[in-house]
Amino acid sequence: MFTNFFYQLRREGVPVSLTEWMTLMEALSVGLADSSLSGFYYLSRAILVKSESHFDQYDVAFQRYFQGIETPEQLLEQVSQWLANPLPQKLFSEEERNELLKKLGLPDWESLRAALEERLRIQDGPHHGGNTWIGTSGTSPFGHSGFHPGGVRIGGKSHGQSAVKVAAERNYKEYRRDETLGVRQFELALRGLRQFSTRLEGAKDQLDLDATIDETCKNAGQLKLIWTRPRKNSVKVIVLMDAGGSMVPYARICSQLFSAVHKSSHFKDLRFYYFHNCIYDLLYLDASCNPRKAIKTENILQSLHSDYKVLLIGDAAMAPSELLMSDGNIFWDIGNTEPGITWLKRLAQKFPYQVWLNPIPMAYWEQIHGYQTIKMVREIFPMYELTLEGLDRATKKLLVRK
């Protein structure tokens, strides 16, 4: 049943396993979908989708597969007269439902769609309490107030909006992990860096809830409080952000990251510097890249300890000369005696914990203008997309040396 829906979900990027799919089939077999497409929508989402970050892909797959089968505005216009005077809702016992399940089975979706189109074409009046036509209080697969293990509810009392309408509205688009981020999502993702914090010093004056529960269980239920030292804030971060030029289209998302980083409270030290296209002799203190508000890159390399975690944000797309040549700096009045790639390699060597976040979708890294320099930068720094999933992967990468 609904096998093609399984493949549609996989095509949209929802990681559905066969075990979960069989669980859904079992749930359908005992009537948990409430004989309606809306019920099927919520039931299958609850079973098949493991994270709200995939709700939008699920909705897209659902809308594309079911194509508006349960849209009362369309169907009720044709059959409203047939359902105008329904019989009272018929309640089926569990035994009756099981018997009907054995007798009727679960239809194939394509055959169900074809059967509904056939009914709409040839039915010419109301049918209540039956097992075939569009009606009420029977065992027909089409109608309401009855029971069919694989039917389509038309009219009747809805437990929500039309399932396909809900899916088409894409209420969960902002939850996608492959979409660009907002400030709140950035803050949540950056919390992964808390794993660098330690509990090595200080008095044990903080309740360790997990350890308390564990020890209380081991103590036959008698409460045993376990105290621990507060986590020492030991995370030190350097953020290097490309500004201007080809980064202008990404100014908003970079501003959001800037806000999220500054709002994060779990860093022992935070340094924020700017560059344009590539890092050279100077790093700038604001996005204007004004040489009067700059610090020598060499000073950063010499003065800061190598335990800083480095996040570089930029599209890495530039003219090859900017990366490979002396005086490749695009600013006319600012020269550089050493190529930008030399400075990038020095930075990577000094700080073994570093990642590069690229606002350009990964699918375009090998074909967009500047793909040559993107490739060269990727050979120096681990590069990830500037999405929630990309930032999650980047923070995990920061847990280990390159």
- Position 283 confidence tier, pLDDT thresholds 50, 70, 90: very high
> Minimum mean pLDDT among 88-97, 143-152, 385-394: which range?
143-152
- Position 41 confidence tier, pLDDT thresholds 50, 70, 90: confident
- Position 137 confidence tier, pLDDT thresholds 50, 70, 90: low
β-sheet with 135-136: strand ranges across: 135-136, 142-144, 152-153
Residue 159 pLDDT: 39
CB 187 within 8 A of CB 176: no
Distance CA 368, CA 24 (A): 42
Residue 295 pLDDT: 93
86-107: average pLDDT: 61
Strands 227-228 and 206-207: antiparallel
Residue 80 or residue 340, greater confidence = 340
Residue 235 or residue 105, greater confidence = 235
DSSP string, 212-260: HHHHHHHTTT-----EEPPPB---EEEEEEE-SGGGGGGHHHHHHHHHH
98-122: average pLDDT: 62
Residue 361 or residue 162, greater confidence = 361
**Which tens digit of pLDDT belongs to each residue from 191-200?**
656 555 554 4
Distance CA 280, CA 347 (A): 11
Classify residue 189 by burial, with Cβ atoms within 10 Å: 0-12, 13-18, 19+: buried
- Position 390 confidence tier, pLDDT thresholds 50, 70, 90: confident
Distance CA 358, CA 246 (A): 12
CB 356 within 8 A of CB 312: yes
Q: What are the CA-CA distances from residue 330 to residues 111, 285, 292 (Å)? A: 64, 18, 17
Query: Which two structure tokens, joined as six digits, stand for 362?
Result: 């990964």
**Which tens digit of pLDDT belongs to each residue from 43-79?**
899 999 887 778 878 888 888 887 645 444 444 455 5
Residue 327 or residue 341, greater confidence = 341
Residue 278 or residue 134, greater confidence = 278
- Position 158 confidence tier, pLDDT thresholds 50, 70, 90: very low
Distance CA 361, CA 310 (A): 21
Residue 387 or residue 165, greater confidence = 387
- Position 174 confidence tier, pLDDT thresholds 50, 70, 90: very low
Query: At residue 303, does pLDDT exceed 60?
Result: yes
What is the rounded average pLDDT for all residues in the chain?
Answer: 75
Query: Which two structure tokens, joined as six digits, stand for 58?
Result: 């699920």
9-28: average pLDDT: 89
Residue 248 or residue 304, greater confidence = 304
- Position 378 confidence tier, pLDDT thresholds 50, 70, 90: very high
Helices 183-190 and 251-263: angle between axes, nearest 10 degrees? 50
Residue 95 or residue 41, greater confidence = 41
**Which tens digit of pLDDT belongs to each residue from 328-374?**
777 666 777 899 999 999 999 999 999 999 989 898 998 888 899 99
271-285 burial string, b = 16+ CB within 10 Å, else e? Answer: bbbbbbbbbbbbbbe
366-384: average pLDDT: 92
Query: At residue 294, does pLDDT exceed 60?
Result: yes
Residue 62 pLDDT: 86
